[in-house]
């Protein structure tokens, strides 16, 4: 067992990826705190307690686990959780932040509450647990943190709140990695692709079929979406990053799905414009240099047609 005697917190541990991570860490010998209030996909109350089921499953095979039903967006309650673990068990070795919800809507229809809820649970929830846990990890000069983002950080239609939160989590992770590098605390982030209740709804399936039938997706791409990609394929990388042996890996962003893992790299300069005289570009200079020298040959973020060349998009969600 690679994690024998260690203490781990896993948020969103009642279902999906969080559940698989909790089960794997427990199987490797860690005592696991399963944080999950049992909310629905959109953050609604359900009255369910899936964390209890995971705790029972771990106990049934001789592992140790505890359930916590508080929301990760509550700074004080997450502090109480961490303080309680320190009081009763003396250490926190591993933190895995998975918890999240979705409130999907185009930006012009999105309410403030829909934006705030997603930011609070994803981005602030990650910060809350990291803040409280790292205070103790620094004293122990040890810690392993794995955060969860999404490829939606690249920009996602109908999910500007979610995309913003996930982009923030990536930047938060890189900042933590730099701040804690001298304390043997690592912090990495995973962008998973897995079929869970969050990602594979009937509406999502129907939308994929519509795209295929409209010629917006090839047959190969569509058939790929039909292959089961369960959350169990995500957990092993989390388990590895949580081990003492992964001490040299920090600040990294991994994409993980069934059968493949790749990394992302941020911050590199792609093109450079230099003004060789007084350093001040004119509008006329920029109108030529930006499209011709700075962006020429780079793939566009949003393919554009000339104004007036096609009908305006009027659909909304």
Catalytic residue among 162, 222, 233, 265: 162
The closest alpha carbon to 97, from 66, 62, 132, belongs to 132
| DSSP reduced 3-state for 199 | coil
Let me know if 131 is exposed, middle or buried by CB neighbors in 10 A (0-12, 13-18, 19+): middle
Report DSSP letters for 17-56, one per residue: HHHHHHHHHHHTT-EEEEE-----TTS------HHHHHHH
Sheet (strand 143-148) strand order: 65-68, 31-35, 7-11, 94-97, 143-148, 185-192, 253-257, 260-264
Identify whether 142 is a catalytic site residue: no
Query: What are residue 261's phi and psi, to 5 degrees?
Result: -140, 135
* Active site residues per annotation: 162
């Amino acid at each position: 067992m690679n994690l024998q005697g260690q203490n781990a917190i896993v948020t969103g541990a009642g279902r999906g990826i969080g559940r698989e991570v909790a089960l794997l860490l427990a199987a490797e010998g860690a005592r696991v705190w399963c944080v999950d209030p049992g909310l629905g996909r959109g953050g609604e109350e359900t009255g369910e307690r899936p964390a209890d089921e995971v705790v029972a499953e771990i106990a049934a095979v001789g592992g140790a686990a505890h359930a916590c039903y508080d929301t990760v967006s509550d700074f004080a309650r997450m502090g109480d959780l961490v303080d309680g673990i320190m009081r009763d068990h003396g250490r926190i070795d591993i933190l895995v932040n998975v918890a999240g919800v979705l409130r999907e809507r185009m930006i012009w229809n999105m309410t403030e509450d829909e934006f705030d809820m997603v930011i609070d649970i994803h981005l602030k929830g990650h910060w809350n647990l990291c803040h409280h846990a790292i205070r103790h990890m620094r004293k122990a000069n040890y810690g392993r943190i794995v955060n969860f983002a999404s490829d939606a950080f690249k920009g996602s239609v109908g999910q500007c709140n979610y995309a913003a939160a996930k982009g923030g989590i990536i930047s938060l992770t890189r900042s933590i990695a730099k701040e804690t590098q001298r304390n043997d605390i690592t912090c990495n982030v995973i962008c998973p692709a897995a079929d869970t209740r969050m990602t594979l709804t009937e509406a999502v399936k129907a939308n994929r079929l519509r795209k295929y039938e409209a010629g917006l997706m090839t047959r190969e791409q569509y058939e790929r979406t039909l292959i089961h990609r369960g959350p169990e394929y995500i957990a092993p990388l989390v388990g590895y990053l949580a081990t003492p042996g992964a001490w040299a890996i920090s600040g990294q962003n991994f994409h993980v799905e069934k059968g493949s893992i790749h990394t992302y790299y941020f911050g590199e300069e792609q093109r450079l414009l230099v003004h060789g005289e007084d350093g001040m570009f004119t509008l006329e200079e920029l109108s030529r240099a930006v499209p011709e020298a700075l962006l020429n040959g780079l793939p566009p973020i949003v393919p554009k047609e000339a104004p007036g060349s096609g009908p305006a998009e009027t659909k909304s969600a």
